Chain A
Amino acid sequence: MNDYRGIFADGLWHNNVVLAQMLALCPLMAVTTTATNGLGMGLATTGVLLAANVVIAGLRRWITQEVRIPVFVLLIAALVTLADMAINAWLHELYKVLGLFIPLIVVNCAVLGRAESFASRQPVRAAAVDGLAMGLGYTLALIVIGGCRELLGSATLFAGASLLLGQRFAFLETTLIHDYQGFLLMLLPPGGFLVLGFLLAGKRVLEQRRRRVERTASAPGPMSSPAN
């Protein structure tokens, strides 16, 4: 149980795909012009990550070191193709929003990265949890970056959410400033790099502060007894 908590903490924060591993930045820059796009891409990636991790962990005893990479690539590409066809056929409204991004998941090196560093060495259940955690961490990063760019670039938040999630989620769509002239730079790729840079810096600052707190806590004054 504790182990799964550790996996989730890794995926969401300590070893976050974007904020710590700095992987999958190419789809990130392309997609995160709005928070909604980020959410959609994040969910699709999570699905593929989960499935890829499960399949690869299931097959790990048959896969040898020498040919593992081609096997992983084959499996991941197949899963993405399946997801693409299924969403196109049965969740067509979603496909119209996400359609362009789904094939991008194939080149998401985070999926291959998790297959290589986790799923190929762990039992199926742990691999599934890891896929889910990493996917959610990626989704979170995408939403935050998309949200920042959208706020600064067009002064809206979750625009088009009802297209992605259905009418019930229309309440998410907010416009902060009407007649906002727009801040184009944030919507163009440089905006993505800027926001990502600030986020990375922010994460470092938070971690440093925590480490300092931990250090002062673990180095108690001469008067307090270590037994406590």
Chain B
Amino acid sequence: MIERLLKPETRQTLGYHPLLLGGVALLVSLTIGVADRLTRADIAQRQLEDLQATLQQVVPASYYDNALVRDTVTVGNGDRSVRVYRARRGGQVRAVCYQVTAPGYGNTAMVLIIGVDRDGVLLGARVISHAETPGLGDKIELRKSDWILGFNGRSLGDPPPAGWAVKKDGGIFDQFTGATITPRAVVKAVRGGLDFFAAHRAVLLDEPSTLSPADGAVGMRGVGP
């Protein structure tokens, strides 16, 4: 069979080319399928660990004793939905964290994750992806500059609404030399995140008397066989 396929005459026939292309495509798809099965669980686990590491940066460990990455609630915000991770301690939600986005320089999406405690005070904010100019706008990354830490402890009332802007616009947050648009976008994104918290506070904190049933469920699982 293989000998026949290798003969130059066979390779000139019309049917050989589709057969070859189809055979290679089939082989390639099979290999990728197998590789996908082999790696899927590991990749999901790694992504979960990454997420956990990010969440830990914006919510201090003292705020929770639950599996942060698994305790989520999805809340609609305008035309898109936001997945919120809840940090509970003793069953009570102590803080929440979620992604916020804002258009950065050149309208490329900038994604941040922020942690907010029960009282709407910002625990921390981190930029997790952006396409800002290296060396100029990338000071929003913690490894380049500690500028982003300036948001810690802020809330909607502190500074008052007029202060939620970069200094150039009359606010209290520093801009960088040569880059105003990037910090402006971050300020706007964080502010938007806090607005989101204020608008959905009860849902995010799991407030409306769902505390006892949740505790009950945990208790029952403990007692069950």
A interface, CB within 8 angstroms of B: 33, 59, 61-64, 66-67, 70-71, 74-75, 77-78, 81-82, 85-86, 88-90, 92, 95-96, 153-154, 182, 184, 187-188
Contact = CB atoms under 8 A, between A and B. Distances in A.
B11 A64 contact: yes
Contacts of B6: 61-62
B52 interface: no
B35 A67 contact: no
Majority DSSP secondary structure for residues of B touching A: helix
A70 B21 contact: yes
Interface of B: 5-6, 11, 16-17, 20-21, 24-25, 28, 31-32, 35-36, 38-39, 42-43, 46, 49-50, 133-136
B188 to A, nearest CB: 24
Nearest to A185: B135
A33 B134 contact: yes
Given A61-B6, A66-B17, 16 more contacts: A64-B11, A64-B20, A67-B21, A70-B21, A71-B21, A71-B24, A74-B25, A77-B28, A82-B35, A85-B35, A85-B36, A85-B39, A88-B43, A89-B38, A96-B50, A188-B134
Residue from A74, A78, A81 having most chain B Cβ neighbours under 10 A: A78
A154 B36 CA distance: 40
A187 B135 contact: yes
B21 A62 contact: no
A174 B43 CA distance: 33
Contacts of B36: 85
Contact of B43 (A33, A77, A89, A154): A89
A145 to B, nearest CB: 15
B162 to A, nearest CB: 32
A75 B32 CA distance: 11
Contacts of A64: 11, 16-17, 20
B90 to A, nearest CB: 33
A184 B43 contact: no
Contacts of A70: 21
Contacts of A96: 50
25 contacts: A61-B6, A62-B5, A62-B20, A64-B11, A64-B16, A67-B20, A70-B21, A71-B21, A71-B24, A75-B24, A77-B28, A78-B28, A82-B32, A85-B39, A85-B43, A86-B35, A86-B39, A88-B39, A89-B43, A89-B46, A92-B46, A92-B49, A153-B135, A182-B135, A184-B135
A96 to B, nearest CB: 8
Contacts of B11: 64
Contacts of B17: 64, 66-67
Contacts of A92: 46, 49-50
Given A74-B24, A74-B28, A184 B42 contact: no
Contacts of A75: 24, 28
Contacts of A85: 35-36, 39, 43
Contacts of A33: 134
A6 B115 CA distance: 59
Nearest to A100: B129
Contact of B46 (A61, A63, A88, A188): A88
Nearest 4 pairs between A and B by C-beta? A89-B42, A89-B39, A78-B28, A92-B46
A154 to B, nearest CB: 7
